[in-house]
Amino acid sequence: MVDRVSFSCLADIKAAGFDDVIDVRAPAEFADDHLPGAMSLPVFSDAERAEVGTIYVQEDPFKARKVGAALVAKNAARHLETALADRAGGWRPLVYCWRGGQRSGSFASILHQIGWRVSLIEGGYKSYRRLVVQMLYDVPLPDHMVLIDGGTGTGKTALLAELRRMGAQVLDLEALAQHRGSLLGGQSGGQPSQKTFESRLAMELADMDLARPIFVEAESAKIGRLRLPPSLWQAMQRADHIRLEAPLMARAQYLADSYGDVVADMDELQARLSHLVPFHGHDLVARWQAMAQTGDYQALAAELVAQHYDPSYARATRRARDPLAVIELAGIDQADLSAAAQQVLATEFSKLVEG
């Protein structure tokens, strides 16, 4: 008999130690969201799922189950001959579908008959999604977040990477959202769905010790088109912050270097700059577009920081408390970031001692 397993929290999924997690839902369902790290081995294609559903509703449930069983067998055979061809006898997979019903049960039975130690998620993806919602919507997160704040181009994301290298707990929201947070911050491939973003976020938090400080970049309530879920946003609103400051031209050079993927596509860069017309008018935006066209990226970045980003930051940043520290960077190279990270950790340690 195939084992059915239930999880009381997200951390239990990783702690269970399965060799692979297999999502047997249709590709469109997988694309909308899935357990992080799961492999997609659909037992129905999107078209096949629609076909079986139509037969079930419009013709006969028995016929739908018969057609569905044939499709599961056909697709399972393909997966066994390809994606699963190299799995050894002791392989231990975890399988799920939407509700933990016929699709995952049928596929798991085939794997079980082969001799693999397969388990099913009780309640399927829906039970997993409830745990994500519980963490990010229903239960307050502990007050152990520390925001890394500062204007655009002050190296906040790079500082988080340095803090992580030094062993600190870091939540990189921009990496999870696949967006750098600013108007020009979109990345190739676009952003994930809201549910996928939340899955990534919840599983990152599940890996952390929530009693220890978690360093996170200060963000608005949205990163690109994705919303920060309420438990996280409320914890960030309550959090202490450390502000970074750096000279304008150092910031401009950092941005020019960091946005190489953006400037590599001139048409896309021109289109993104055009979105600034409602804020700055046609003449100024045309000037910025001309600077981009001639490759004067550092000067362009300097003007964008001084005339667009910093004023926007000043309007948006209204914090009730003073920063724990203000770190002034002479530049934004590796040595500067390493020194800043050490200062951040020392500041947080001092706060813990005083508290």
Write the pLDDT tens digit of every residue in 180-226: 877 666 677 789 999 999 999 999 999 999 999 999 999 889 999 99
pLDDT in tens, 149-191: 999 999 999 999 999 999 999 999 999 999 887 766 667 778 9
> Quick count: other Cβ atoms within 10 Å of Cβ 181?
19
Q: Residue 252's closest CA among 326, 328, 183, 151?
A: 151
> What's the whole-number mean pLDDT along residues 11-38?
96
The token duo for 24 is: 């047997």
Tell me the sheet residues that pair with 169: 214
Q: Kindly report the CA angle at 31 between 28 and 32, in degrees rounded to 5? A: 90
Can you give the pLDDT at residue 268? Answer: 86
Can you give the pLDDT at residue 47? Answer: 97
| Residue of 38, 97, 163, 184 marked active site | 97
> What's the whole-number mean pLDDT along residues 13-40?
96
Q: Tell me the residue type at 156.
A: K
Higher-scoring residue by pLDDT: 287, 354 = 287
Name the strand (E) or helix (H) holding 145: strand 145-150
Can you give the pLDDT at residue 353? Answer: 52
Q: Which residues contact 132 (CB under 8 A, 6 or more apart)?
A: 10, 195, 198, 199, 202
Share of the chain above pLDDT 90, in %: 82
Higher-scoring residue by pLDDT: 12, 268 = 12
> What's the whole-number mean pLDDT along residues 260-273?
86
Can you give the pLDDT at residue 355? Answer: 54
Can you give the pLDDT at residue 238? Answer: 93
9 flagged as catalytic: no
Whether the predicted pLDDT of 248 surpasses 60: yes
Mean pLDDT score of the chain: 92
Whether the predicted pLDDT of 128 surpasses 90: yes
Rounded Cα gap, residues 336 and 113, in angstroms: 59
Question: What are the residue ranges of helices labelled H in the chain?
Answer: 10-15, 27-32, 46-58, 61-81, 102-114, 124-133, 156-165, 173-177, 194-206, 230-238, 248-258, 260-263, 266-274, 277-293, 297-304, 310-316, 334-354
Whether the predicted pLDDT of 292 surpasses 80: yes
pLDDT in tens, 42-81: 999 999 999 999 999 999 999 999 999 999 999 999 999 9
Can you give the pLDDT at residue 24? Answer: 98
Please give the model's pTM, rounded to 2 decimal places: 0.90
pLDDT in tens, 309-349: 998 888 777 666 889 999 999 999 999 999 999 999 998 76
